[in-house]
Each structure stands twice: as C-alpha cells, then as structure tokens.
Structure 1
Amino acid sequence: MYPLYLLLALAIGLVVPLQSAVNNQLKHLIGGSTVLAAFVSFAVGTLALAVVAVFTQQKWSGLGQIGQASWWHLTGGLMGALFVFGTTLLAPRLGVVVMLALIICGQILASLLFDRFGWLGLPVREISTPRLIGAMLVLVGVLLVNFGDRLR
C-alpha cells in the first residue's frame, strides 16, 4: 500500500501547477476576480467531496460533533483557501516554477518542524543528516530557480 501513497503524493504534486493554471483561466473567464475564481474552485471541490462521501457511504452523522471542535480545528479550510487564492494570484505574476519552488521550500521547512516536534499529534520523526541535506538542496534549488539567470 505504501507505494500507492507515494504515487498519490506525486500525482498531487503534478496537479498543483495544473490547478494554478486552470484557476487562472477561470479568473479571466469570470471577470478577473481571483477571489471569485478561488470561490468557484472551492465550491466545485466541495460538491466533488460530497459526491465521494455519498458513494463511499461516509457517516454524515459524525458532522453532528462539529460543534465540539475548537476554533483552530476549522482553520484548515482557511489555509486551503489561502493556497488556492494565492496560487491563482501568484502563478501569472511569478511564474509557476518560482511560485511552486517557494511553496515547496516552505512546506519542507515547516514539515521538518512538524516531524521533529510532533505538533498537532503527528508522530515524532527525528531530523537526520540526510533529511537536513535534502532540505538544504531544496533551498539551493529555490535559490537557483529564482536567481539562477543572474549567475550567467
């Protein structure tokens, strides 16, 4: 099962630039509003998840417990909205590769901290030398993507 998870993670990564480009085109179609393009994107995603929930027979009654959630439990949607809005806004301004290099760098740095300290109930994973080297290589990659043309 683990190799399938790896493939799913790769597929998600492959879709992110496509999502940015599609949402950018949607933005132009609906009058240039990044906010409304992100809204439509989330609305379609919400409908898709509802259909999947019905077909996979999810227990909708579990949603009755939502009133017991702390405020921060609900911030994932805000973070997702920031991601969709931000990528729709930034892709045409920075270029997809620069934007995603910076996003990936931020993800790697935050992920190292989440793994190291086990924040929000995640399992603790030590930051090994190979992981640090990998993070440094990502950072070097971000610098090359952003400033490599100036080195010529």
Structure 2
Amino acid sequence: FLSGAIVLGIIAFAVVRMQGISLDWKAPAPWLFIAGGMLGGFYVTLSTILTPRIGAAALMAFLVAGQLLAGMLIDRVGFLGVAVREISLGRVAGAVMLLAGALLIRLF
C-alpha cells in the first residue's frame, strides 16, 4: 500500500502541475484518508479470500454490481459533492440485470 500511495502521490502531483493548480491536502476531512485506506485494505483482503472460493469471474461480477449499486446511492444523496441524480427505472433495471448476471455467473 505504501508503494501505491507513493505512485498515486506522484501522479497527483504531476497532474496538478500540468493543470497549473495547487493541490490542497487540507481540503478533504482527515477521516476520509483513514476511511479510504481501511476500505482499500478490506477490498484487497476480501478479494484474496474470495477468489479461490467463488472464482475470479464471479468475484469480478459481484464487485462491479456492488460498485454500481454504491454509485447509484452516491448519486442519489450527492455524497462528497457529487451532483444529485435521481434513481430512475432504467437505472434500477440495469442494476437488477447486472446483479442477475453476477448470480448467473456464480450459480451456473
């Protein structure tokens, strides 16, 4: 994780320099850095444990389905300054189909 943090720091610095803006490390609340690190560790650990048990394809399908559902929730409440977007019938149908696909990959 340390090497990944260093690489991301370098990339962030380079992108900020190319755009000509200054990077404000004090802007995000400190708990966001801690939560991000903990969630990253949880993600890697869970992926390592579940891959041999349910298979790589099923794991990826469930990860994408979970990310879509989390994204819909973030859009709905406007978390972290994201523009609020309503949950439409089309979004719900897409999420249901993606979840059904993940279940089909796992069960069949």
Normalised by the length of structure 1, the TM-score is 0.56
How many angstroms does 1:129 deviate by? 1.7
Residue 48 of structure 1 pairs with residue 7 of structure 2: yes
Radius of gyration: which is bigger? 1
How many angstroms does 1:53 deviate by? 4.2
SS of equivalent residue, structure 2 residue 87: coil
* CA displacement, residues 69-100 of structure 1 (integer Å, 9 cap, x when unaligned): 342x2211211121122222222232111111
- When the two chains are superposed, the root-mean-square deviation of aligned CA atoms in Å is 2.4
Q: Which has the higher helix share?
A: 1
Residue 141 of structure 1 pairs with residue 106 of structure 2: no
Residue 69 of structure 1 pairs with residue 13 of structure 2: no
* CA displacement, residues 91-117 of structure 1 (integer Å, 9 cap, x when unaligned): 223211111111122222222221122
Q: Counterparts of 1:21-36 in structure 2 under 5 Å?
A: none
Alpha-carbon distance in 2 for matches of 1:146, 1:93: 11
Q: Which amino acid aligns with 1:48?
A: V
Residue equivalent to 1:113: 73
How many angstroms does 1:137 deviate by? 0.5
Percent same amino acid among aligned pairs? 37
Q: Structure 1 unaligned runs (5+)?
A: 1-41
